[in-house]
Structure 1
Amino acid sequence: MDRRSPAPARMADGGRRTADRIPTEGRDLSGMMDPMRSAALALALALAGCGGETCPDTVEPVSVSAGSETPHVTVTLPSESRAPAPPGEVERYRVPRDYAPTRGPLDAPVTLVAFVDFECPFCKRAQATLDALEERYAGRLRVVFRHYPLPFHQGARPAAEAAMEAYAQGGDAAFWRFHDLLFAESPNRFDRDTLLRIGRAAQLDVTALERALEQGTHRSAVEGDVALAQRLGVSGTPSFFLNGRMLSGAQPVARFAEVIDDELARAERLVEGGVAPAALYATLTWRGHGVDPDRVPDDGDAGDPAPPPPRRARRVPDPDAVYRVPLDGPLPQRGPDDALVTIVSFSDFQCPFCSRVLPTLEQVAQRYGQDVRLVWMNNPLPFHQQARPAANAALEAFAQRGDAAFWDMHDRIFANQRTLSPDFLEQQARELGLDAAAVRRAVDQDTHAATIDAQQRLARSLGASGTPNFFINGRNLRGAQPFAAFEALIDEELAKARQRVAQGTARAQVYEETIRDGATSPQTIEQGAPAARNRPDPDQVYTLAVPADAPRRGGRRPEVVIQEFADFQCPFCNRVQPTLESLLQEFGGRVQLVWRDYPLPFHQNAHEAAEAAREVRRQAGDEAFWRYHGLLFANPRDLERPKLLDYARQIGGVNVRRLERALEQDRHAQAVDDDMQAVRDAGARIGTPSFFIGRRGSDQVRLLQGAQPIEAFRTAIQRALDESP
C-alpha cells in the first residue's frame, strides 16, 4: 500500500469538490466521534491543520447560534465524485486490507475494516460490539484495524504509532494485546510514559518502542491510514466498512448483524457460483468507490482518470483437464475399489445444491453399477455454521462402523438440513446404534479437524471452492448438474478406462494411472477457445534456458539440471521438498536443482513471498535463500509482510529495512513475472510444482508435473543422463 499523503482530491474538471453543509441539529451523533462534536471554532482550525500533512481543501467559518445546543460546522472533506450504486446493488468502497493488523480467517466471507481513534470514547464503546460480533460470526468474520487519530485528540497519534510498533515486534497477537490495553486505559491521555508503561504490560521491547516513538518510525503508516480514510470520505470515528459497505458510529450489534447477514447470503451465492472464498472480498469490492493509492495527483494534475486497461479475454475452467485428486487414507465410498470410474465429491452438509444433486447420484449408481464408485470429501463452507459439526458427526460414524454407518448418517443429515444441532446429531447416532457420546465429542471438539482441513485445502488447490464439486476420473464437473452431464462424462471416461484394462492395466489401478500426471492447480482456457483434449505429451521437448542468476543447489558441474517452478503457498510444492532432498543426496554432484518462481494468482501472499526470497538472496546469497525458502515452506499460512520480515531476521545476515523497501518498491516483481512468462514462451501449460529436466548446458528440457514419487524423478533423470550431451 502506498503510504504517501495524498494531494487534495479534485473533480475531473480540475475544480475542488466541496461537501454539502451538514447541520448537526436533529442528527444523532451519539454513537460517533465526529469532529463537529467538539468546540466548533477550535475544531475547524484543528481540522485545517490535521498534523500539517493532509488537510481539507477549505474550512469555512463556523456559525454558532445563541443558545444553540449543536453548532453548525461546515468543512470541505476530500472526496471523489461518486455515482450512485446501480439499482439492486449496495454502495461499496474499495478499502484495502493489506499490511494492517487483522483478526479472523483470511478467507472469511465478511471483512470488517474499522477506522479507529484510541482516545475516542465511542471507539471504546464499539469494542464490546466488535467482540460480540466476532463471537457470533466466528470463522465468518475478519476484522481489519486502521488508524484515524483525530487532530484534537493529542495522544491518539502517538498511541497509533506505538500500536504499530507492537505490530512490528510481534504481529497480530502483539498488536491486539496492546490495542486492548490502550482501550482499557482510555479515556486517559496517552503521553510517552503511559505508552511505555502499557508497552511493558504488553511484553514489548520497551527500548525499541521508545526509539520508534522518538524517531517516528511508524508515522508514515499512520498517516497512510489517515489519508486513506479521507479519500474514502470518512469524517469521524469509529467508521466501519463491511465488505466495502460504510457504517458510521458505535452502532448496536443488531445494525451490524443486519449488514453481515446480508453479506453472508451474497457470499454464499457467489461461492456456489464458483468464486473462491479467498476471492470474495475482491469480487465484491473491486467496482466500489475508491482512489488508486498508486496515483496521487500533483498540483498540476486535474485528476483525470487514466484510460481503463484493455479488457482481457475471460478465462474459464478447462473441461478436459485431468486433475490429480489423491485418495489418501480411508475415505467413505459407495462402489467397489476396482471401479473403472471414480467420482470424488467435495460436498457440504448444509449446501442446498449438494442436497439437490443426491437423486442424480442415485441414478448414476443404478445405471453404472460396479463400474462406478463415489468417494466423499468434505468442504464445509464458512457461512454454513452447522456444516462442519455435521461433517465431524458423519466422519465419526465412519470411524466407528465404516461405509454403511457413514452413508446412513449422511442420508439423515441431508434429510434434516435445517435442524443440524449437536443434540440432533447425537440423537441420530443413538438411533443408528453408534457410540453417541463419542459422536457428540467429535461434534463439540472438532475431532476430525485434520481430515476436514486437509480435504478443504485439496479442494481449494484444485479450484473447487464451491459445492458441490465433482472430479470424475480427475475431470471436474461443477454444481448440481443434471444426469445427462454426468452421463456424458462418465461414458467418455469409461471408454478410456476399458481401453487401459485391455492394454494390461489392472482394474484396481485404473484410477491411479489416470490421474498420475494430473494437474494440481486450476486449469483454464480463454472463453471460446477449444479445450485441451489431452495432457502434454511426456516426450515433448521444450526450449527453456536456465537463468544465470537463479538460486541453485546440488552439483556445481552437474550432468542434469532440474528447474523447479513452484509457489511458496502451494501444499504440493511443500510436499515434494523431501523428495527433492533425497534426489540430491542420491545423485550427488550429478544433479543440480534450480529454483524458479511460479506464484499462483489465488495464493494471495505467494508473489510477495517470492519477491522477498529474491531480495534475501540478493543480499546474502544462495545459502541464505535456501534457509529462507525452508522457513517459508514451514509457514505457508503466515506469509504476510510482517512475517516475511520476521523470517528474514531469523536467518540473519539480511538488512530487514532494505528488504522492506524492496517489497514496497516491487523491486523484484518483474523478475518473478519473468519466470512465469518464460514458461508461457516455451509453450507449456503448468500448475505447481512443475519440473523441467534436461542436460546441463542445453535448453532442451522435458516436463514432469506434480508432487511425483521419487521413482518418477529417477526415471526422468536417468532419461536425461542417457541422452547425448
Structure 2
Amino acid sequence: MKPNIIVALLVGLVLGFVGGRVTGGPSTKAETKPAAAAAAPAGRRPVDPTVFKVPLDGSPSRGNPEALVTMVEFSDYECPFCSRANATVQKLEEDYGKKLRVVMRQNPLSFHARAKPAALAALAAGEQGKYWEMHEKLFANQKKLDDASLEQHAKDLGLDIAQWKASQEDPKLQAIIQKDQALAQQLGASGTPAFFINGRFLSGAQPIDNFKALIDEEYGKAEALVKGGVAARDVYAKIIEKGQEKAAPKAQPQQPAPSVRKIDVPAESPSFGPTTAKVTIVEWSDFECPYCSRAVPVLKQIKETYAKDVRVVFRHQPLPFHGSAKLAAEASEAAHEQGRFWEMHDKLFANQKALDRASLEKYAAELNLNVAKFKGALDSGKFKAKVEADSAAGSAVGANGTPTFFINGRELVGAQPFDSFKRVIDEEIAKADKLLAGGTKAEELYAKINAENVANAPAPAPAGAPAEPPVQKVEVGNAPVKGAANAPVTIVAFSDFECPFCGRVVPTLKQIEEQYQGKVKVAFKNQPLPMHANAKAAAAAALAAHEQGKFWEMHDKLFANQRALDRASLEKYAQELGLNSEKFKSALDSGKYAQQIEADSAEGSRLGANGTPTFFINGRTLVGAQPFDSFKRVIDEELKKAGGTVAGNK
C-alpha cells in the first residue's frame, strides 16, 4: 500500500477510523435528524441520533441484565485498536457499575489471519462458562494467537481441552460468527471496534469522554422510560423496537483522477518487452512488500498477452520499515549485472520471508551466477546509489508506496487485477496506433505519448477545506522540549519509537527546527502502541537519557535503529552517547518512568491521539507522518495569529 494512503488511514485512526475500522457512523437522511443533533459538548464530535435495532441474540454479555444502558461491541481480537478500546470498556464498567451492560459480538476482519481462530477460541471457552476470561486473555496477548498459544490460554483457564477443541469444530460457533459479521455489515459497522450504545453508533477506539457523554445521555432517556412505567429489564427492547434495521447506503465519494506524470526510463533499469513497445509500464516495487508479490503473476499475464506491445521497466522503492528490502534490491541489481535480473526477481518474491544475506547468496548459487562477483557487488555497495536514485525518483513522482505503476505515465496504484491493467493498456495501444499512423517513429513513441498524456490530464479539482478537530488545551508538562522557551508555536508530539511512520517524520521535524529557529518548540510525549513490543522499553530509555541531558540524542538513536530496540541495544546506545551506564540501567530496572509513560499515553487517548504520530500545534491536531508543507501551513497560521513571521521571512 502507498504510504500516503497509509497516512490517510492513520488520520482515520485518530479521528474515528482505524486499521480495520470505518470512520464515522452510518449515514442517514438529513431530514430524519433533529436539529439538536448538531450540538455536542465542547471538544466532542456529535453522535448521530439514529437508533439502530441491534439484537442481542444470546451473545456473551456481562453486567447487570437490568442495566439502563446496553453497549454492544463488534470486535476483532487481532485488531490493536480493539485492544486499546477494551481498556476503555473496562474503565467504563468500573465507573458505571450496574448502570451498564456490555455485549460482545464477533467481527474478525479478513486481513487479520488469526482473528477468526481467536473468536472461535473465545466462543468455545464460553461453552464452558469462560468466555470473558478468554476474551481478556486474547486482548492481553495479541501477539500470541497461533494455535499453540490459544491452546495454552485454554489450559491456563482450566478448560477441558478436548471439549474446547471439539466446540471449535461445532458449526454452531461458525454460524454465530457469520451472523455477527452479517449484522455488522447491515448496520454499517464494517470495521472494528464498533459500538452501539442503546442502539446509537459510536465508531472506533475513541477517548473515554466520548463514550461517557453518550452513555450519560442515553441513561437520562432510559430513566425517563422507567419513570414512565417501563420495567428496567425491558428498557433496551423498548428503546430499539422502532430502531433502524439497516444503515442507509453511503454516498460514494468521488474518486480523484489518477495522477499522470512524466516518467523517465533509465537505460540501465531492468525491463522486458521491446524498447519500441506501444505501451511502457514503469513499476516501483519492494521485494519485501506482500502486495508487490501479488502483482508478479499479473505482470506475467501482461507479458504473455501483450508480448509485442508492452514493455515493463522495474525500479526500486524499498520501504523503510522493510528491513531486508534494500539488500534484496541490491541483490537483484547484482544479478542484473550478470543478465539474470528477472530470475532473481522471481526468486526474491517467492521467498519474501528469507531475504537475509545468506539466503541471497544461496539464490545466486541456484541461478548459477558468479557467486564471488555477486558477493563482491553486495560487499562493495556498488548498487546502493542505483537503488537510492530509483527510490528518490519514485518519491518525486508520487510513488511513495509499493507497488506503484505508471502506464505511459498514467498512475495505477497497488496489486490490482489484470483487468485493471488491460483497460488502460488497451486505451494506450489505441493512442499509439494513431500516432504511428500519423508518422511518429516507433523509437519516439513513448516520449511523445507520455508527454501528450501529461498535457491532456485533467486539472485536479480544488480541495474543499478539510474539517479540523477543535483546538484543545495540550499541556507540555514534564515532557522533553527542544526550542526556545518563549517560542510562539508549540508542537506537542505523541509518538512511538517502534512506529515506522513516527520514524519518517523525524527529518520533517528537523526541517521545521531549521526553518523556524526561535519560533517553534517541540515537546515529545510517549504513546507506545500495544502492538509494538519494544516501544515502552524504548520510551523508558529515552527518558532515562533525558535524566542525563541527552533525550534528543537518544531520540535520534532510537529512530535510526527501530529494528534494534532490545535491552542490550538500548544499553549500547547509552554507552555510545557517553551516558552514565549504571545510572541508565538502574533507571530501566526500577521502572521509574512507567508512570510518566502511562500518563502520556492516557493523555494522548483523552485528546484523541489513538495512533502515532499525532501532533498538536498550538492545540490544533495534525495526524500522521505528513510532509513539511502540512506542518508549515498550520505553523504559519499560528505565527500570524501571534504577530510573528513565517518561514522564509526571518
Sort the TM-score into its range (normalised by shorter chain): 0.3 to 0.5
- When normalised by structure 1's length, the TM-score is 0.36
- When normalised by structure 2's length, the TM-score is 0.39
Q: Choose between structure 1 and 2 for higher RCO, CA contacts under 8 A separated by at least 6 residues.
A: 2
